[in-house]
Structure 1
Amino acid sequence: MKADWNEALESGNETIDSQHRDLFNHINAYFDSLEKVYGHEITIKTLNYLLKYVRFHFGTEEELMKRYGYPDFSEHLTEHRKLVDELMNCYKSLISDGHSEEIVERLRVLLNEWLVAHIMGYDKKLAEFMKESGFNA
């Protein structure tokens, strides 16, 4: 099951949308790879990338929120921390228990469902605030 990018996910902020598209492309490449090579190494590599990239991306969003005085900063930040914590839990499980279909399924649900819900809710709300306030990154 791929995480499909579509126009409904566009926030209207090119910086944020570009990073979201990159994230979706990498997630899809991971799931495509799993169809060919089911393995520990590809999942470790992907989790390392995702942890690094989401921290970079969240840093971008958080900087924009701080710079422009976004009123829901704390709530949005909490959501970011939840995803990083969940990815870290998957990583720790992978290291301690080894590769399993359960971990792959946890990642699939986390990345497909959480990411889409976050973008459609929190990120669109942020982009709308920036647009209404006359800010664009």
Structure 2
Amino acid sequence: MTIAWNASYAIGYPMIDAQHQELFKRFNSLIEACQQKKGRQEVVRLFEFLDTYVVEHFSAEEALMTVHAYPEVGMHRKQHQEFSEKLQGWQRHLQQEGSTLGLLIETNEAVMLWLIRHIRTVDMALGKFLHSRPA
């Protein structure tokens, strides 16, 4: 079952919302590939994408936090770092053992849950803060 992007995920900052939408699109591609029994090939493509995109996305969010003196920047960065470390672990697993069913299941569940939880809590708080700032 894919997870559709909707307005409840929007933080109200167009660049960040567009990046989140792209992440949803990529994860949904993994889910659809799993349903077609092609998930092991798609997880490789997902990791190739995430390798650069996560760095770009996290950097964009962190730059906004720095420019606007966001008081929760440390906690937000810590969550980004923790996710990046998990991603590195999955990539090591992929390199050492290949695209195993266990890796596919863990990636599918963990990444989507993290993304939704992170957007709905941490990123929403950032969006609310950014909108409270004078223009």
TM over 0.5: yes
Aligned to 1:65: 65
Aligned to 1:104: 104
Aligned to 2:13: 13
- Deviations along 1:56-84, one digit per CA (max 9) or x if unpaired, are 11111000001110111010000001111
- Deviations along 1:83-120, one digit per CA (max 9) or x if unpaired, are 11111111111111222221111111222110000000
Instruction: State how far apart, in whole Å, the 1-side matches of 2:134 and 2:6 are.
Output: 25
Paired AA for residue 29 in structure 2: A
Instruction: State how far apart, in whole Å, the 1-side matches of 2:30 and 2:103 are.
Output: 13
Runs of 5+ unmatched residues, structure 1: none
Give identity over the alignment, percent. 26
Runs of 5+ unmatched residues, structure 2: none
Instruction: State how far apart, in whole Å, the 2-side matches of 1:110 and 1:83 are.
Output: 10
Instruction: State how far apart, in whole Å, the 2-side matches of 1:53 and 1:62 are.
Output: 14
Instruction: State how far apart, in whole Å, the 2-side matches of 1:114 and 1:68 are.
Output: 25
Alignment of 1:49-88 (within 5 A): 49-88=49-88
Alpha-carbon shift at residue 51 of structure 1 (Å): 2.1
Between 1:7-16 and 1:27-36, the stretch displaced more is 27-36
Aligned-CA RMSD value: 1.5
Paired AA for residue 2 in structure 2: K
Number of residue-to-residue matches in the alignment: 135
Paired AA for residue 43 in structure 1: V
1:3 and 1:91, CA in 2 relative to 1: closer, same or farther beyond 3 A?
A: farther
1:33 and 1:50, CA in 2 relative to 1: closer, same or farther beyond 3 A?
A: same
Instruction: State how far apart, in whole Å, the 2-side matches of 1:16 and 1:101 are.
Output: 32
TM-score relative to the length of structure 1: 0.90
The question of whether the paired residues in 2 share the 8 Å contact of 1:5 and 1:21 is answered with yes
TM-score relative to the length of structure 2: 0.91
The question of whether the paired residues in 1 share the 8 Å contact of 2:29 and 2:42 is answered with no
Aligned to 1:22: 22
Aligned to 1:43: 43
